[in-house]
Amino acid sequence: MANSTRLFKSIARLLLPALLLIVVAIAGSAIFLVYSTARPLKTRYLVTPDKYGQLSSRAAQVTEESWSNKDGSSSRGWLLRGSDNAPAVILYHKYGADRSHVLNLGVKLNESTNFTVLMPDLRAHGENPTVQNASFGGCEAEDAASAVEYLKNLKNQNQIGLVGKNIGIFGVEMGALVAISLASKDQTIKAIALDSVPQDSDGLLTAAVDKRYPFASFATAKLAKLGTRFYFFDGCYKREPACDTARSIENRNIMLLAGVDAQDFQDSTSKLAKCFPVSNKFENKLDLSPSGYSITNASMEQSEAYDQRLIDFFRNSLTN
């Protein structure tokens, strides 16, 4: 008996360090995957207002703006002022993109409606971002609330509030998660256009990890989800499914868009359509080719048709 006990203790002493190393290695790998994916690869803006302004007098009116967030960080965005007391629309890009991806839409929306248009960079996105880590829709939703406050505090030349009572919001992929989260908490968001909506932040993270680390994607996605428990210990990561968030949104105008170019998000967006209460008014187009997820690769005709669909939606939703 004593010999057996000593044998078990010896085996335990041998295995415990190895098991500990395995646990540390798994945790370290999980945290690294989240850390690296939360810092999107940096790219230059597709186009800037300065360059666009050489072709469009309206684009030349775009200004660089910044404002404070609730956590003490700062956000930045391009602003196109509209008519006094007209509605405003916020445009949010997808993960890995930046505000330049919605600049053309923003300029055309402002030209067509005279709405004020704000085009922010999401956290960790754009050139020289002010915040280095993205949170896949969590803290970004809090930042969006600060963006709304910024719009409401804008003044015209007579120091009277510029923006009217109605606000619209558009988002693609991660931007869509931000938009739906904001709309669930802010009744002034009257029109919501969502394109390629992930099921939740885990779905967005999985897609981002798969794209960045395509080898053994099943394992890396599982590790990354585990890593969020450690990396976002402060609660910035939002785990609520988009469907649950949608159930609290009532009496709004909603447009859902998706396409075959992002089939996983096409499926999740289609399912999301069933989650909103019936008090909302809907416009759905879930078979686009391409959707806003890949609109930068579309032809000029496809891009113009996509933009016009959104312009018509916001005009009809915010002025009636």
Domain limits of the chain? 1-37+208-233, 46-200+238-319
Q: What is the pLDDT of residue 195?
A: 98
Band (pLDDT 50/70/90 cuts) for residue 220 is confident
pLDDT at residue number 6: 60
* 217 pLDDT higher than 80: no
Kindly provide the b/e burial profile for residues 300-316, where b requires at least 16 CB atoms within 10 angstroms of the residue's own CB.
eeebeebbebbbebbbe
Mean pLDDT of the chain, nearest integer: 91
Rounded Cα gap, residues 181 and 186, in angstroms:
9
Confidence of residue 226 (pLDDT cuts 50, 70, 90): confident
Helix (H, G, I), strand (E, B) or coil at 279: coil
Name the CATH code of domain 46-200+238-319 (choices 3.40.50.1820, 3.90.1150.10, 3.40.50.10140, 3.30.230.70): 3.40.50.1820
Tokens 């897609």 belong to 207
The mean per-residue pLDDT over the stretch 161-175 comes to 97
Please answer whether residues 137 and 174 qualify as being in contact, where contact means their C-beta atoms are separated by less than 8 angstroms: yes
pTM for the whole structure: 0.92
